[in-house]
Amino acid sequence: MRKYYQLLLVIICFLSVVTLLIYRHEYYRLRYVLEVLNFFGKPGLSEIEFCGPGYNATMLSEILRNSSMEVRETPPLFQQIDDNFYSYSSFLRSYQKYEKLTQSHAHIIDTIVIGKAQITPNFRCNIWMEGSNTPKAGRFTHKTISEPVNDFTLYIFQCSLSKNLGKPKGVSFYVNDYNINPIHAPIIRVIQVNTKRKPRRTANIKFVNNIEPAICVIPNQIPLVSRDSFIEFLVFHHMMGVKYFTIYDSMISEDIIRRLNLVPSDITQWNIQFFPLNYPFLFAKSYNIVRNAIELDCLFRHFRLDKEETEKASHAIVMSWDEFLVPRIHNNIKEIFNDFDPTRRIRTLQLKPLLFCLNQADDEEVEVGYPEMMKKTHYYIIPQNMSPIYVRNLDSMVIYEDIFSLTLSTKELPLEVLGAHKYTTCRDPKVFNSSGAGYNETQMKMLQHKFEAAMAKFGPNIVSNKIYRLYRSGKIWEKTSSESVRDML
């Protein structure tokens, strides 16, 4: 009997070893597949390669169901280089369409980086080539893009190769220490850009492209956006002549995206690109520097598109969900930009924001059915740190390096022409309120304010808008998959 027990134990031991070996084999196969997907991108998901903290994968699956609202490019995502520096996105300025490669710095990769202001960058870099699993050592340099903001500074890390050794697909940075293994540094996928934007020419006449503004949307300082704010922002600025939106936000409700995707693109007539935003810092403290990084990413992405191609952005504007561009003359911002800068030579148009408190009383003269923001007709003179809104003119940027000279020519748009309205709850920054409430009615009456009803004049247009009417009716939120959205309009 004892022999049978021993035989049984031997069989069990043998099966356990075989199972362990099978498990180990499958584990390494899966690990290899994940590594390949992480570097080269997942099939069917364009160039998505890394999600990172704060990213909602369910949201991505819903976005990808509709071609008008999707992630079609490599997303910008913060990745840690070391304890003091975080990379955001990388852009390859080689393989350009209008220039031949030279042996001097055949490849240059620019990477947007946020770092501690008091720390001097001291790194080495590797460039990863297509079709090779071993990197090439590059030459590292850096330039400072912004003044310190709350102990943070915006940098451009450059990694270059003096010879054309293939097409780069990724870049990595690591501490300048030969005891550190560079193979473990995070790899940032590069995005190809053109180094020149070629204007259209016929004989000796230079034709200026039509104005096509694009808005890059970032979260509010309190990074939550309501369903109302999301719809109102898109619909209003689409009415103002904007059809290109790039949204850097991970806090958008999945239900909003799913429902809005039900509306056919020929009805919306806008182009929306979603990117997740994973900020590795205290958001309130780093908000302004993150906004600067997003603006640079926004400019790089729009600069890479050919001016010869039709319907590409001519101006780029970075705004949060609570900011609105409200014309005083004309009915859209395209006509304003055309009148104010007909030759497209001004690099930056600057707008001073006006603060409209959402906790002010509604204007009784405004129609009841108008959006909440249109019922606020007084802007307040409250000492708050409000950054200007900048309109960057891509048509004035002939070569890639012009992106780094945004203040070359700047002109302020007068309030009589175009206003930048910011709608938020006004509160005393020195007093903490756990409920998040702002000034009460009595306190609001004591604050200095001025009447401004420019927004209210667009009330009839927005309430008659097809998308807004569909949203306000509530039908789209109750829709089943068998119903047609067109029947609801």
pLDDT (tens digit, 9 = 90+) per residue, 185-197? 878 898 888 777 7
Mean pLDDT, residues 73-96:
86
Given this model, what pLDDT does residue 65 score? 40
Sole residue written with tokens 């990745």: 79
Given this model, what pLDDT does residue 201 score? 54
3-class secondary structure for 318-341?
A: EEECCEEEEECCCCCHHHHHHHHC
Share of the chain above pLDDT 90, in %: 41
Q: Please check the confidence at residue 58 and state whether its pLDDT lies above 50.
A: no
At 90, list the tokens: 């990388």
**Distance, CA of 90 to CA of 79 (rounded, Å):** 11
pTM for this predicted structure: 0.81
Contacts of 441 (CB under 8 A, 6+ apart): 361
Contacts of 24 (CB under 8 A, 6+ apart): none
**Distance, CA of 452 to CA of 317 (rounded, Å):** 23
Q: Please check the confidence at residue 349 and state whether its pLDDT lies above 90.
A: yes
**Distance, CA of 200 to CA of 232 (rounded, Å):** 36
Q: Give 215's pLDDT tier (boundaries 50, 70, 90).
A: very high
Helix, strand, coil shares, percent, the chain, to 5? 30, 25, 45
Contact 96, 152 (CB under 8 A): no
**Distance, CA of 161 to CA of 182 (rounded, Å):** 17
Residue pLDDT, tens place only, 440-456: 888 898 899 999 999 99
Given this model, what pLDDT does residue 451 score? 95
- Element at 441 (helix H, strand E): helix 441-446
DSSP-assigned letters across all residues of 235-270: HHHHHTT--EEEEE-S-S-HHHHHHHTTS-HHHH--
What is the radius of gyration, based on Cα positions, of the chain?
26
Q: Is 131 exposed, middle or buried (0-12, 13-18, 19+ CB in 10 A)?
A: exposed
Per-residue DSSP letter, 196:
B
- Distance spanning both ends of the chain, measured CA to CA: 82
Given this model, what pLDDT does residue 123 score? 92
Given this model, what pLDDT does residue 94 score? 63
Contact 171, 159 (CB under 8 A): yes
Distances (CA, A) of 380 to 252, 324, 448, 489: 29, 16, 6, 38
Q: Please check the confidence at residue 486 and state whether its pLDDT lies above 80.
A: no
Q: Please check the confidence at residue 482 and state whether its pLDDT lies above 70.
A: no
Contacts of 386 (CB under 8 A, 6+ apart): 353, 355, 422
Given this model, what pLDDT does residue 153 score? 94
Sole residue written with tokens 């048509």: 395
**Distance, CA of 275 to CA of 297 (rounded, Å):** 11
CB crowding 397-411: b at 16 or more within 10 Å, else e: beebebbeebeeeee
**Distance, CA of 98 to CA of 199 (rounded, Å):** 12
Mean pLDDT, residues 347-364:
94
SS3 380: strand
